[in-house]
Amino acid sequence: MDSPVQRSDPIVILGAGVFGLSTALHLCQRGFTDVTILDKQNYDESKYSYLEGCDAPSADMNKIIRAAYGPETVYQDLSFEAMDLWRSYNDYISAGRDLPPGLSQKDEIWVNNGNLQICAQIDLPYFERMSIENMRKAGKRDTQVVVTEKHDVNRAEKAGFGFAVDPFSRWQKNKPYQALLDTSGGFVYADKACRLVLHLARRAGVKVVLGPEAEFSGYREDPRGNITGLETVGAKTYPARLVVVACGGWTQQIVPGMDHLCETTGGSVAVVKIPKTHALYERFSPHNFPTWTYKMRDGDDGGLYGFPVDENGYFKIGYRGTKYINPQNLGDEKERSVPVTRWSKPDSITRIPSHALDRIRGFLEEFVPELGETGLDITFTRLCWYNDSFDNHFVIDHVPHKKGLMVATGGSGHAFMFLPNIGKYVVDKIEGKSGGPLDYWKWRNLEPSKKPVNVLGEGRQSERALQNQRLYQDDELVLGGTSGLGKRARL
């Protein structure tokens, strides 16, 4: 039997996104003394800001935080645990001591402005009904507001969430409307959150190596094939008792044998810049406007979500009703989807499939026609790469038959909210613990009798392959026409 990893053993984490950062911080907090994190992107320069030139899902403007998780109470509990820590991050910042560059005492990274889940029908769908039920069981029924229930709405108003009940003025416009508001939810400023956790990790003793020189170039192995470290493009060797690969959508390229478990898929994002002087800026500010989702489990026709404006006036909308793939042959004879990023293909930096843009524009024209009516158009777009597991659960485990190698990945579109606490579970795994959420996050195979939540490996013939999608033309960024959902909306 191999001895467990000791707290003095060197541990190298590859990837400084949500999983890597959180793991690094929790390792040091647990008493590990030789922890190094590497990333090929220089986040000290870009500060995790997509607008400053980096590109990873963790490097973003904002991300939804929610505890309403339908039947999935594992994540509901995890989310409440994370929210306590998000609050402690806000407290840390407001104390104003020892802040990283790019953060000031006035910054609030976690904003509890509510998460509104807009539904396609008046009868609440299963997921929303289960959220109410499971929040009730957790003693949090008060946080769930059915917008058509007077009693619930009164309660939301008393709690200061009146603004979040009908933020698109559907009733005023005589449009049918149903939604469940989760007043425990909201969003975090993602770039600032990563910046803070990187800083806390450094303070806790993590060695940080960022930039192109830190790009992975190969493993170090002993004669039995066990991993004993890794090498980087900068010709440096990092010996390690354990290597944890946390490279998001790039993980499958680095960890062999994972393609049955995870695939990277592109989510589409569009941003409308609303100048601070514009009347809509105040209306869509976080104190007047919630985070929202629209028909999240309704396939291609739904899967929209969005945020209030940020301090630069960026009003962000995402579409994940169809997630795209980019199957490529990268030389190891295996075709797999790989992220298209601004650095791997500069021309693609802002282009999303026309189909996705049509869905986003359609939503905006139906729900926020005021944008087009006041001369605002979509300012830029982005493809942002998920690493989806077949069942939407994360993957935190040792790699079978590769001693010394672990993965922490499979965010499947919902890992950002766990930045403060996911690392705790990675460290539990490293320390040989099991049970609880770790049982969901094992290295696993799809049981033949089960249907995957996400179908993986469709390849180039798939309609979702970017090779088969038309990317939009600039004139499609104009709002105010008739397109997509605008014509089709049932609600």
Ligand X SMILES: Cc1cc2nc3c(=O)[nH]c(=O)nc-3n(C[C@H](O)[C@H](O)[C@H](O)COP(=O)(O)OP(=O)(O)OC[C@H]3O[C@@H](n4cnc5c(N)ncnc54)[C@H](O)[C@@H]3O)c2cc1C
Footprint of ligand X (CB under 6 A): 14-20, 38-41, 56-58, 63-64, 214-216, 246-250, 254, 267, 269, 318, 384-387, 409, 411, 413-417
Q: How far is the CB of 28 from ligand X (least distance, A)?
A: 17
* Closer by beta carbon to ligand X, 371 or else 384: 384
> Between 86 and 177, whose beta carbon lies closer to ligand X?
86
- The answer to whether residues 56 and 47 touch, using CB atoms and an 8 Å cutoff, is no
- The CB-of-63 to ligand X minimum distance in angstroms stands at 4
Compare residues 153 and 254 and give the one whose CB is closer to ligand X.
254
Torsion of CA 73, 78, 82, 84, to 10 degrees: 70
CA distances in angstroms from 246 to 37, 40, 78, listed in the order given: 10, 12, 20
CB of 382 to ligand X, least distance (A): 8
Question: In this structure, what are the phi and psi dihedrals at residue 406, rounded to the nearest 5 degrees?
Answer: -130, 160
- Closest approach of ligand X to the CB of residue 183, in Å: 17
Q: What are phi and psi of 321, to 5 degrees?
A: -60, -40
Nearest CA-CA partner of 111 in 161, 170, 166: 161
**Smallest gap from residue 232 Cβ to ligand X (A):** 7
Quote the DSSP letter at residue 422: H
* Closest CB 143 distance from ligand X, rounded Å: 18
Distance CA 317, CA 367 (A): 12
Beta carbon nearer to ligand X, 45 or 149: 45
Q: What is the maximum alpha-carbon separation in the chain?
A: 72
Are residues 24 and 426 in contact, defined by beta-carbon separation less than 8 angstroms?
no
Cα distance between residue 73 and residue 85, in whole Å: 19
Contact between 219 and 227 (Cβ < 8 Å)? yes
Residue placing its CB nearer to ligand X in the complex, 103 or 417: 417
Write the DSSP symbol of residue 283: H
The alpha carbons of the chain give a radius of gyration, in whole angstroms, of: 22
Give 284 or 324: the residue with its C-beta nearer to ligand X: 324
Q: How far is the CB of 49 from ligand X (least distance, A)?
A: 13
Q: Kindly tell me which of 109 and 384 has the beta carbon lying closer to ligand X.
A: 384
